[in-house]
């Protein structure tokens, strides 16, 4: 459970991951020469952070669907050695919202993703906190996620707080940052890195934001998307956030 972690702490994750996995699957591409994984490795080396990557199962490229099943497992030893890099399911693809699918349909997709994660990176790299695509609140799958050692699902960073759960849940997410619903923990996503860039926040503004979350909740959760990390300004703000947390001894979970 989230309450098992000693406060203060933070959680950082990346949504919509598949492109970089496809790229490093190509035999001509070295793993840490890939710009995405090279950047993550540099962040880990500087700040000793854990990073959860939430994956799509497939992507359409030039009218051809490429799936995780088609990707090479040639980098498995790298993933096994770098346990700070963890993986979890996100959705079938960018167009498919899990909340639009039945629980059984979701399970079929998540099982496919989990099978491939285990194949190319090992089961020890599976995430314990998951953010589903479009902030799907799949509380009907609480028993399923428990079998995958997932203790928490993330909710939206938007003012709605929750799209499907009741007012009591919304109040607890707003006041405490986490709650229990249908026997699984839900944790509010506090912000996305690209929003800080779009709002043109200064470093002082960002520090005030972080301090506010840490003082109110004892933790802060934030994320970005794989495609956003091609933007230098997003990488710069992410580096600043992680540097501040590291310098203030806020633990990465």
Give the pLDDT confidence score for residue 110 in this predicted structure: 98
Give the pLDDT confidence score for residue 44 in this predicted structure: 98
DSSP string, the chain: -GGGSPSSEEEEEEEEE-HHHHHHHSTTS-GGGSHHHHHHHHHHHHH---EEEEEESEEEETTEEEEGGGS--TTHHHHHH-TTEEEEEEESSTT--GGGS-HHHHHHHHHHHHHHHHHHH-GGGB-SEE--GGG---GGGHHHHHHTT--EEEE-SSTT--SSS-HHHHHHHHHHSEEEETTEEEEE--EEHHHHHHTT--HHHHHHHHHHHHHHHSEEEEEEEGGGGGSHHHHHHHHHHHHHHHHTTPEE-
φ and ψ at residue 219, rounded to 5 degrees = -155, 165
φ and ψ at residue 101, rounded to 5 degrees = -105, 155
CA–CA separation, 182 vs 250, rounded Å? 30
Burial annotation 240-253 (CB, 10 A radius, 16+ → b, else e): ebbebbbeeebbbb
Domain 11-193+221-228 has CATH 3.20.20: yes
Asked if 185 contacts 131 with a C-beta cutoff of 8 angstroms, the reply is no
Confidence of residue 41 (pLDDT cuts 50, 70, 90): very high
Asked if 45 contacts 239 with a C-beta cutoff of 8 angstroms, the reply is no
Instruction: Answer yes or no: is pLDDT of 30 > 90.
Output: no
For 194-233, what is each residue's pLDDT tens digit? 999 999 999 999 999 999 999 999 999 999 999 999 999 9
Give the pLDDT confidence score for residue 240 in this predicted structure: 98
For 69-82, what is each residue's pLDDT tens digit? 999 999 999 999 99
Confidence of residue 26 (pLDDT cuts 50, 70, 90): confident
The full set of domain ranges for the chain reads 11-193+221-228
Share of the chain above pLDDT 90, in %: 93
Mean pLDDT of the chain: 96
The pTM of this model reads: 0.97
Instruction: Answer yes or no: is pLDDT of 1 > 80.
Output: no
């Amino acid at each position: 459970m989230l309450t098992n972690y000693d406060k203060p702490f933070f959680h950082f994750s990346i949504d919509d991951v598949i492109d970089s996995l496809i790229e490093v699957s190509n035999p001509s591409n070295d793993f840490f020469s890939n710009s995405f994984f090279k950047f993550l490795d540099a962040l880990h080396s500087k700040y000793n952070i854990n990073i959860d990557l939430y994956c799509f199962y497939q992507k359409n490229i030039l009218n051809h669907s490429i799936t995780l099943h088609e990707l090479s497992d040639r980098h498995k030893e790298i993933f096994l050695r770098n346990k700070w890099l963890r993986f979890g399911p996100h959705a079938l693809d960018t167009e498919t919202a899990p909340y639009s699918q039945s629980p059984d349909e979701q399970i079929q997709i998540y099982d496919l993703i989990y099978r491939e994660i285990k194949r190319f990176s090992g089961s020890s790299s599976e995430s314990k906190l998951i953010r589903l695509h479009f902030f799907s609140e799949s509380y009907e799958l609480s028993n399923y996620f428990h079998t995958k050692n997932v203790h928490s699902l993330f909710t939206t960073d938007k003012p709605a707080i929750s799209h499907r759960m009741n007012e009591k849940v919304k109040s607890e997410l707003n006041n405490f940052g986490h709650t229990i619903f249908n026997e699984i923990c839900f944790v509010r996503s506090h912000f996305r890195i690209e929003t800080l860039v779009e709002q043109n926040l200064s470093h002082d503004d960002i520090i005030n934001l972080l301090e506010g979350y840490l003082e109110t909740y004892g933790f802060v959760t934030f994320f970005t998307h794989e495609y956003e990390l091609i933007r230098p300004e997003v990488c710069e703000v992410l580096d600043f956030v992680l540097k501040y947390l590291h310098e203030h001894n806020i633990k990465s979970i």
